Amino acid sequence: MLGAALALSMCGVLVNASAGGEAALGIPRWAVQLAWALLGAGAATAALLFDHRRLAGAAPFLYAAALVLLAAVLVIPGGGGEARRWLTLGPVNLQPAEPAKLAFVLAGAAYLARREEKPGPRRVLTLALLALVPTALVAVQPDLGTAFVFVPLTLALLYWGGVPGWKMLCLLAPLAAALAAFTEAPDWVAGAVDPSLLDSPVGAVFRPWWWLGMGALAAAWLIGRRRKEPFFGFLLLAAGAASVVLPLGWNLLKAYQQRRVLMFLDPTADPKGAGYNLIQSRIAVGSGGVWGKGFGQGTQGQLAFLPERHTDFAFSVWAEEWGLVGSLVVILLFALLLGRMLRAAGRAADRFGSLAVYGATVVLAFHAVFNVGMCLGLFPVAGLPLPFLSYGGSFALVSWLAVGLAAGVERRARLSIF
């Protein structure tokens, strides 16, 4: 587990050495990345030796501290381009949204571990509220990509906590109905309805996908009613409200956020503007071929055609220089690491440790899948870093601590056998 994380970190050092650039005080980025890797490995070792059960009592305080830091970002001047995302501490920039993910996982795991039975509606709603606060604080920065991470984290904790899979699908219904409401109305509807009405809060009812989604949810509600599950009535109302209200949120997005979504759907519509990042990333990945162009020989990265090559598109730099073979090596290392972490979650000797490790695994897995998919053009550009490869200290430490937590839980499970 630690070996796979260390190997991925060395890949990150190579990526940043190739991408070039300097950090504060003129220090090369690759040297800073190496320092963060060594510091993270030390933190993971400390987490491995630490009794994770003590974190259950400290989790509420860690969660509260994370919220304070997230709120501080909004009032203390820092960095982040168009968004306020960092706290500047001398030469170091701290991004509170990254440790907030792990703090939420620990708080959610501690809450669900209080009882052995499966979470009921009240506990589901409480966990959702715990996720809503950091989600809102991160979204206001604004950083919608990071804010969205709390959604799969919440669902993962509920699933591992005992919520049946068919109920999990119903929990996704409000989000699905809201996304369906963004779909375009068919031509025969658009021609017969006032355009201003289509853009109004009731415009969702003119979209057929919305009716299909609501019909499926209504069927699930009827099944839940027969099983005496009144919670499905709440889900039906939530889905209806979300499908009407959330599309209005499109007008609340920053202009660059709207461009990211539109360019994901069709990056060729503005190849020299908002779609430039996706197009250059695809070119970099595709030009690597099977074996790659060699270390420091990638044209997209070396000639600076690829933007944010040391952070968001670190995988694109790696794929261009090391090719399909090198990309598969990185993917296999991630598969090995995540597989070992899942095994640790399954073997944990206590419920809190199992939930905490599973949530930590989902943090790394979601980032890895989304970032690689983003570099391939499968997902919109959201600024989610690739664990261990992307430049940055905040998420590097969080990633290492997640691995150390999993290793420590697995170690204690082995010791409890004897």
**Residue 154 is assigned to a structural domain of this protein:** no
Q: State yes or no: pLDDT of 352 exceeds 90.
A: yes
Q: Which of 49-53, 130-134, 263-267 has the lowest mean pLDDT?
A: 263-267
| DSSP helix/strand/coil, 285 | helix
Residue 372 — very low, low, confident or very high, per pLDDT cuts 50/70/90? very high
State the Rg of the chain over Cα: 22
Contact assessment for residue 93 and residue 99, using Cβ atoms and an 8 Å cutoff = no
Residue 342 per-residue DSSP state: H
Residue 272 — very low, low, confident or very high, per pLDDT cuts 50/70/90? low
| DSSP helix/strand/coil, 51 | coil
**Residue 375 is assigned to a structural domain of this protein:** yes
**Residue 94 is assigned to a structural domain of this protein:** yes
Residue 205 per-residue DSSP state: G
What pLDDT does 343 receive? 95
Lookup result for tokens 């839980």: 409
**Residue 85 is assigned to a structural domain of this protein:** yes
**Residue 32 is assigned to a structural domain of this protein:** yes
Residue 288 — very low, low, confident or very high, per pLDDT cuts 50/70/90? confident
Contact assessment for residue 310 and residue 298, using Cβ atoms and an 8 Å cutoff = no
CA 140 to chain centre: 17
Structural domain including 36 reads: 2-142+253-417
Cα(100)–Cα(117) distance, integer angstroms: 27
Contact assessment for residue 85 and residue 143, using Cβ atoms and an 8 Å cutoff = yes
**Residue 277 is assigned to a structural domain of this protein:** yes
**Residue 106 is assigned to a structural domain of this protein:** yes
Query: What are the tens digits of pLDDT across the range 60-91?
Result: 999 999 999 999 888 876 554 455 677 777 66
Which run of H or of E encompasses 75?
helix 54-75
Query: What are the tens digits of pLDDT across the range 381-399?
Result: 777 899 999 998 889 999 9
What pLDDT does 178 receive? 58
Residue 43 — very low, low, confident or very high, per pLDDT cuts 50/70/90? very high
Residue 89, classified by CB atoms within 10 Å of its CB into exposed (0-12), middle (13-18) or buried (19+), is exposed
Type of residue numbered 261: V
Q: State yes or no: pLDDT of 127 exceeds 70.
A: yes
Considering its fold, how many domains does the chain have in total? Answer: 1
What pLDDT does 189 receive? 41
What pLDDT does 222 receive? 63
Percent over 90 (pLDDT), the chain = 38
Average pLDDT across the chain, whole number: 79
What pLDDT does 417 receive? 58
Query: What are the tens digits of pLDDT across the range 224-249?
Result: 556 555 555 556 556 555 555 555 56
**Residue 320 is assigned to a structural domain of this protein:** yes
